[in-house]
Amino acid sequence: MNDANSTVAALSGEAARTSHQAEPSHRAEPSSQAAIERFAYMTLARELDSRFASLLLTGRLAKWYSQIGTEATSVAAGLALAPGDVLCSLHRDLGAILAVYLDPARAFPGCGFGAADGLRPEPEKVLYRLACQLLGRGDGFSSGIERSFHYAYLDPNAGIRHIGMISHLGAMIPVAAGCAFALKQQGSDRVALNFIGDGGTSTGDFHEGLNMASVWRLPLVLVVENNRYAFSTPTAEQFAARRLSDRGIGYGMAAETVDGNDPAAVAAAVERGVARARAGEGPTLVEAMLGRMRGHSEGDDSLKVVPPDELQGYLADDPVPAYREHLLSTGVLEADLAGRIDACISELVETSVESALASSQPDPATAHRPVFAAPALVSEARLPEPEVRGEPVTYVEAVHQALTEEMERDPSVLLMGQDIGRFEGAFRVTRGLWAKWPDRVRDTPIAESGTLGIAAGSAMLGYRPVVEMQFADFITCGFNQLVNVIAKLFYRWEIPCPLVVRLPSGGGVGAGPFHSQNPEGWFAHVAGLKVVCPATVVDAKILLKAAIRDPDPVVFCEHKFLYRRIKGPVPGPEAVGRLGEARVVREGTDLTLVAYGASTWTALEAADVLASEGVEAEVVDLRTLVPFDEETVLAAVKKTGRAVVVHEDQLTGGFGGEIAARIADQAFAWLDAPVRRVAYADAPSPFAKKLEQELLPTKDKVLAAARDVLAF
């Protein structure tokens, strides 16, 4: 049978449930050297795991997720990778991590593993850092910021590309697919390998990530570690499929189910998947059937869900001692060599763990390390107004020009989104771009989370993706990827994640409650995201160019009402804006109106009316919410003594509350009246324009608030 369309060596449903009762299936080893290498790493993983479990019991470790029982699968999968491949692990994949990090010739000297590869770091040093990471010490990979295996370790010179996890299981599958996408875009034959447990296969990201990986034929291998119980829920209550590998077939990818206690079988399956990936044949799903031998975390009592007789069967089939016995009994492994490997492991573990226990706690200053790779301002001097020229263009054309110029300038810029290719986008922002760069302008399925995850993975490997949400409202479907994966990356790992998420947002066009939201307040609250809300055609162009060049993730809010309603000449390709600089767009002495996006125009209209009444209002256009240009706002308020904040987001929780709080905190002594806010009502957006106008922050509402403040 063709294994691209059917399972290979798949266990039947009954066999999957009872395989723990059978004798270990260990296939004939194609290479004794490979078998001994697997044995060494499996034994090392078990020894490290046991040591950290002991540290938990003695109170020197706060939490431990045991990998006992997964070693045959994780080690075999890790050893299938080559330098430059990407490993995306979860919290039970210590074996794969060791296989990727350690050169066997140096980790197990005198054990017949040949010459060192000359790439990977000294085993003692890298295991010391790993032990420090697990203990939360300052010399760990994340300097104490991250727990256990949530870190990343990218060392291109050593051929190591290891990306850790977030706690939302399944979320890293699209990210791994994004790494695979980047590798394919680069024209390399490298692959990405990701792990997931049976429980995580029910998440939306599992389906979105695998579907996109298959549609785009990405070099991804996903290993499902099926322990039959997830945290505590039997598989019969998780899914109705006969095998999880059947899901891979449903997505049109190669898939197979193997005995996860048999390292040779796992190695063969994963190596087939890796070979397919390297040959450009797309992704593979390998389901490894394992026995549940430990709780979700040590001491949580979740192991009680496994019936006692079933648990005893799993314990009897423990893959580490079973594999040792198999290799010794078949003559593949000599007792003397096994003893030498054991001695090397004992010394490695003792040295690394004891050194880590003696190491320092993290420096408290580490807690304050930057959430952004680039500072808010690169210099004290503000950028001068750019020179504009040519015929007036619309706001939407300014966005189009920015995308075109940045794609021409930088081949790492990619565009992703629904219907942005042949159809050229819901608002025709991307017209002509797919025809010019078909490999860099990618139509995506309706999969916001999957698309953002792929963008994150590709950004970590050197690309600058620009993701278009068809409407800003749809970003909610990708919320987790944006706020928990993308936003936190630099603070967690000090790895830049340069991507832009374009959000056609806002109301005023009668689009109803699911096409009119202003979500900027959600993301201004999230540390690690920059938020841009341009009001003019010039800013739509130069700030988008700045956002694309920025090393941090940027949420770029484009107000739909402005798309074709405002026009003006724009600067040439050489002009680039700067994030974090507000602008005074109208000078005044009596009152300050602070606004952004479409509300800037509302504020200007109100200022014109006030001027006819003898009141000169200063209007500040924030342009970017994060970084927030507090200096410009405070200077304007101190100048006038009065402030009204205008925005289209809802009043409660809107960014205007933050602006008002900053003014009250920093400029209270200069205020002659309370700060007022004019915002959208706390309600969804109605469809009928007459109803919508009742809720929008209109010119008349701004005027009423301004007059109240002036009369105070």
Residues labelled as active-site residues: 515
SS (H, E, C) 327-373: HHHCCCCCHHHHHHHHHHHHHHHHHHHHHHHCCCCCCHHHHHCCCCC
Q: Are 598 and 648 in contact (CB under 8 A)?
A: yes
CA 210 to CA 173: how far, in whole Å? 7
584 CB-contact burial (10 Å; exposed 0-12 / middle 13-18 / buried 19+):
middle
Q: Are strands 583-586 and 591-595 parallel, antiparallel or unpaired?
A: unpaired
- What are the beta bridge partners of residue 108? none
Query: What's the CA angle centered on 151, arms 147 and 152, to 5 degrees?
Result: 175
Q: Which residue has the tokens 């040093």?
A: 125
- What are the beta bridge partners of residue 586? 619
Hey, how many other C-beta atoms are within 10 angstroms of the C-beta on 85? 27
CA 148 to CA 55: how far, in whole Å? 14
Helix (H, G, I), strand (E, B) or coil at 193: strand
CA 478 to CA 490: how far, in whole Å? 19
Q: How far is CA 681 from CA 404, 513, 651, 675, 701, in A?
A: 37, 13, 6, 18, 12
Helices and strands (DSSP H and E) totals, the chain: 25, 21
Length of the chain: 712
Of the candidates 588, 411, 575, 461, which has an alpha carbon nearest to the alpha carbon of residue 175?
461
Q: Are 7 and 257 in contact (CB under 8 A)?
A: yes
